[in-house]
């Protein structure tokens, strides 16, 4: 059932806007056709980058600018082993002690894997296909139009290139030089240009068009909590790790489920998802998540948490060593 079809819970106009925003580099988080806070923040960032009225509303001028990325909202896909193959863990253990006994924190089932691959949710895939939950090799499904056909992932370390292929990450991303995370708006913004000097004006794109920095991409994020607030300051993202294991240390976690220190295996359903961009602030990083639908709503243990596909896109936009400015 295409978005907007009578009986579909998906708003077709919003769904198409989300696909187009993502194509421009301004992620709405999950593509689900819903007008949530992540959608509004992504739209505001896109409007800011194009010099439009920053309203967070899908007005006619914004729609025209989005349509510069000409693509339909959905695509029919005949599922392959790349889409739905692999190792699955079901039921998935909730307790860290049980997770530590596994060798890989894999997706629960084919539908969850497919949803991550197409930057959406299992419920959205079911709604797009008239309530049909049948998933398997050879099945034809309507999916968000985010698929890419191959590409050069040169420079990606270790198993990063394979993870990017699995999650449909276009290797040709906008290129940036530094990021800004503002505690007040819940968005990580990517800028190209010279990093603002310390002690100067607040880092932003206010000077766009005057030879200063340019806003090229933005992502919804979860940042910190009352116990572990966003670490205000300037940091460097020094190294990238793809499918990293996780050292479970309850004393530095927000609401730990265990009081034991544990070594958790890698996997997309691990606490840091598929990638960790290490910051020069000890114990802090920019990383993925096992719960993409909670981005922008749930708390973190001080780190910057993104959807798995967004953190992979970010790693293609900036080279290791980039500056990360966190401000209140």
Q: Residue 16, Cβ neighbours under 10 Å: how many?
A: 24
Q: Exposed, middle or buried by CB within 10 Å (0-12, 13-18, 19+), for 150?
A: exposed
Residue 7's pLDDT band (cuts 50, 70, 90): very low
pLDDT cut 70: percent of the chain above it: 91
Q: Which residue has the tokens 């499904």?
A: 141
Residues 6+ apart with CB under 8 A from 5: 12
Range of weakest confidence among 58-62, 105-109, 204-208, 293-297: 204-208
pLDDT at 185 over 50: yes
pLDDT averaged over every residue in the chain: 91
Q: Please report the domains of the chain, with CATH numbers, ordered by start residue.
A: 12-66 (no CATH), 74-144 (no CATH), 178-327 (2.40.440.10)
- pTM (predicted TM-score): 0.92
pLDDT tens by residue, 317-326: 999 999 999 9
pLDDT for residue 204:
61
- ∠ CA 94-97-99, nearest 5°, is 55
Q: Judge whether residue 232 has pLDDT over 90.
A: yes
Cβ neighbours of 198 (radius 10 Å)? 9
What's the token pair of residue 159? 């198993």
Judged by DSSP in three states, 140 sits in strand
- Taking alpha carbons only, the member of 177, 191, 193, 211 closest to residue 48 is 191
């Amino acid at each position: 059932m295409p978005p907007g079809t009578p009986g579909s819970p998906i708003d077709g106009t919003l769904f198409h806007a989300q696909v187009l925003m993502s194509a421009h580099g301004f992620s709405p988080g999950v593509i689900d056709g819903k007008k949530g806070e992540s959608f509004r923040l992504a739209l505001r960032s896109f409007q800011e980058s194009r010099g439009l009225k920053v309203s967070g509303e899908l007005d006619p001028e914004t729609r025209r600018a989005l349509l510069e990325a000409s693509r339909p909202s959905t695509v029919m896909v005949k599922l392959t082993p790349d889409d739905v193959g692999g190792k699955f863990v079901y039921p998935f253990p909730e307790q860290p002690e049980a997770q530590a006994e596994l060798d890989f924190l894999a997706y629960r089932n084919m539908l969850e894997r497919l949803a991550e691959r197409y930057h959406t949710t299992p419920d959205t895939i079911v709604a797009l296909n008239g309530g049909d939950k049948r998933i398997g090799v050879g099945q034809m499904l309507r999916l968000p139009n985010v698929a890419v056909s191959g590409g050069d992932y040169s420079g990606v370390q270790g198993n990063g290139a394979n993870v990017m292929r699995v999650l449909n990450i276009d290797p040709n991303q906008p290129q940036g030089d530094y990021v800004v995370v503002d505690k007040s708006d819940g968005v990580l913004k990517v800028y190209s240009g010279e990093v603002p000097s310390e002690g100067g004006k607040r880092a932003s794109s206010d000077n766009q068009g005057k030879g200063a920095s340019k806003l090229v991409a933005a992502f919804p994020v979860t940042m910190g909590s009352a116990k572990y607030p966003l670490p205000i300051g300037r940091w460097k993202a020094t190294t990238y790790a793809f499918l990293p294991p996780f050292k479970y240390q309850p004393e530095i976690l927000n609401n730990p489920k265990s009081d034991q220190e544990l070594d958790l295996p890698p996997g997309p359903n691990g606490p840091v998802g598929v990638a960790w961009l290490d910051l020069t602030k000890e114990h802090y990083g920019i990383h993925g998540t096992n719960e993409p639908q909670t981005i922008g709503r749930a708390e973190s243990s001080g780190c910057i948490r993104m959807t798995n596909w967004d953190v992979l896109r970010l790693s293609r936009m900036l080279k290791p060593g980039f500056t990360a400015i966190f401000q209140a």
